[in-house]
Amino acid sequence: MKLYNTLSRQIDTVEAIHSPKIGLYACGLTVYDYTHLGHLRKYTMDDVLIRTLRQAGFKVTFVQNVTDVGHLTSDSDTGEDKLEKGARKYGKTAWEVAREFEEYFWRSMDLMGNLRPDVSCRATEHIEVQLELVKTLEAKGFTYVIEGDGVYFDTSKLDDYGKLALIDISQLREGARIERIPGKKNASDFAVWKFERPGENRAMVWPSPWHPRSFPGWHIECSAMAMKYLGDQFEIHTGGIDHINVHHSNEIAQSEAATAKKPFVRYWVHHNHLMVEGEKMSKSLGNFYTIDDVLKRNINPKALRLLFLTSHYRSETNFTWQNVEGMQKTYDRLVAQTLSLKKDQGRTMLSEDKLALVNGFRERFVQALEEDLKTPEAVAVMWEMLKSNIPSSDKYELLISFDEWLGLGLRAVTAEQAMATTNQPLPVETLPLAVQKQLEERQQARLQKDWVRADLIRTELETQGYLVRDKADTQEVTAV
């Protein structure tokens, strides 16, 4: 198994510290708002990586955090905590926002067919382990306190700070004539623990040795939780390319400082951005899309997954509705072929030529994924195999085998056929939680023969893009 390693700037062979066990930590979502398509692509490609590692014989322990406190709106340790910002935006408490959007994240992952982590760890439930890590850094002389602000990591104490991003720290210092935060010793220093400001009245605060109302820095969370579950050293850490310069560079610095410069992670895997109609995804541009937007258009999330697989994880990818709608038709064809092959299971003896062809497809598919997750090549091998003249039974077995890596859910394709066909009823459990609640209220109105209320909710749902038809004692929902 080979992966491009951001740390070495080359494709490296993956070697386990304690073979065949491998630790993999994936930077999880900051749960202050909806999971969007850019997130979906990153976590889907993480899923393919985990499936590939396991198929390659590694026993992977998959750990993913939930950032539910401490992620400020600026990487320079200034600005508002994103959870507090989300709470104000949605008129709820920070705790309510965190749980609601965490639930939305898991629902999105499940619909995409992504495997759940072996360990999912919330930052708010690991305050003590984070505090202990900061105390260790303090005891070793790597931190200093800025009164009224927080505890900061002194990057000048390391001779290799920024090695992941190839940061020239001397140039940063020369350019730091005006400090954004008064009291910072170096422009590259970062907060490991923050203090509540006077009058801020944060919802999420904990006592610490430095301040009675304080909270963890974003970077310390990942280091503390990763080391708790995977040890001081582990194999693979994933994230977006936007994490390289700051978040992951800071993780390496504080982790290796705490463990006497033991290499924190062997292989750093970074995913490129998903663009929308050629522009960066942004709410202000109106191109911020979620799994619900996909479902409203009667697009199967597995069709979206197939679209993601047609580009390499290190390539910037452009999303358009035209592309995903076209991929829905492609996915429908794949479903139809799968069902047809499943029915035609007559076993025939393979000639040497056909046997060589079957083995060749398998070897090329595996090689594509084990050579830095070349998913476009793997998908191309799958289509080539389906067009070949090998027997149907062998095609089906290969297809199902390939899907253990790709995660398109083809083994259970009959259960998903309704979703893969346009104008078919949408499973209620795939609908947004708010829509599910409206349907429940409408059903209660029907049972109470409150037809005015039932019709009103039906109209409300139509304005949201859902058509409701009454079927005896149930309701059937399709996209308008």
Q: Which CATH number belongs to the domain containing residue 163 in this structure?
A: 3.40.50.620
Pairing mode, strands 119-122 and 59-66: parallel
Pairwise CA distance, residues 346 & 155, whole Å? 66
Domain match, 27 and 175 both: yes
- Does 320 lie in the same domain as 241? no
Higher pLDDT, 119 or 333: 119
Alpha helix locations (H) across 169-300? 169-174, 218-230, 249-258, 291-296
Q: How far apart are CA 192 and CA 396, in angstroms?
A: 53
Q: Which residues lie closer than 8 Å to 199 by C-beta, 6 or more apart?
A: none
267 and 353 inside one domain? no
pLDDT of residue 414: 61
Distance CA 198, CA 283 (A): 31
Domain boundary among 271, 297, 325: 271
CATH number of the domain where residue 318 is located: 1.10.730.10
pLDDT band at 464 (very low <50, low <70, confident <90, very high): confident
The more confident residue out of 101 and 452 is 101
Q: Of 245, 271, 297, which marks where a domain is finished?
A: 271
The reply to whether 322 and 448 lie within a common domain is no
Cβ partners under 8 Å of residue 29, min gap 6: 35, 39, 66, 67, 101, 102, 105
pLDDT at 479: 62
What is the average pLDDT across 417-442? 70
- What is the total count of domains within the chain? 3
**Confidence class for position 384, pLDDT limits 50, 70, 90:** very high
Domain shared by 395 and 459, yes or no? no
Query: pLDDT band at residue 450, thresholds of 50, 70 and 90?
Result: confident
Q: Is 164 helix (H, G, I), strand (E, B) or coil?
A: coil
172 and 53, same structural domain?
yes
- Are 145 and 152 in contact, with CB atoms under 8 Å apart? yes
Range of the domain at 473: 428-479
Domain match, 226 and 258 both? yes
User: pLDDT band at 355, cuts 50/70/90?
Assistant: confident
**Measured CA distances, 287 to 38, 275, 281, 394 (Å):** 11, 10, 6, 43
Classify residue 307 as exposed, middle or buried by CB count within 10 Å of its CB (0-12, 13-18, 19+): buried
CA angle 223, 7, 242 (to 5 degrees): 65
Per the document, the length of the chain is 480
Q: Give me the pLDDT at residue 418, please.
A: 41
Q: Which of 175-184, 250-259, 349-358 is the most confident on average? A: 250-259
Same domain, 30 and 93: yes
Domain's final residue, options 223, 245, 271: 271
Q: What is the pLDDT of residues 292-343, one digit of tens each?
A: 999 999 999 999 999 999 999 999 999 999 999 999 999 999 998 898 888 7
CB of 205 within 8 A of CB of 196? yes
Of the two residues 345 and 385, the one the predictor is more confident about is: 385
For residues 189 and 282, membership in a common domain is answered with no
CA atoms within 13 A on the CB side of 182: 2
What is the chain's mean pLDDT, rounded? 90
Segment 13-27 mean pLDDT = 97
In degrees and rounded to multiples of 5, residue 173 shows phi and psi of -65, -40
Do residue 312 and residue 249 come from a single domain?
no
Do 447 and 408 share a structural domain? no
pLDDT band at 477 (very low <50, low <70, confident <90, very high): confident
Q: 172, exposed or middle or buried, with CB in 10 Å at 0-12, 13-18, 19+?
A: middle
* Confidence bin at 75 (pLDDT 50/70/90): confident
pLDDT of 22 above 70: yes
Of 264, 349, 346, 319, the residue nearest 42 (C-alpha): 319
Alpha helices per DSSP H over 277-344? 291-296, 301-309, 321-343
How far apart CA 256 and CA 153 sit, in angstroms, is 12
Question: Do 168 and 84 share a domain, yes or no?
Answer: yes
- 318 strand-pairing partners: 275
What distances in angstroms separate CA 347 from CA 207, 335, 344, 356, 396, one per listed residue? 68, 21, 9, 17, 11
What proportion of the chain, given as a percentage, has pLDDT over 70? 92
CA–CA separation, 209 and 188 (whole Å) = 24
d(CA 370, CA 51): 11
Strands 317-319 and 466-471, by their bridges, are unpaired
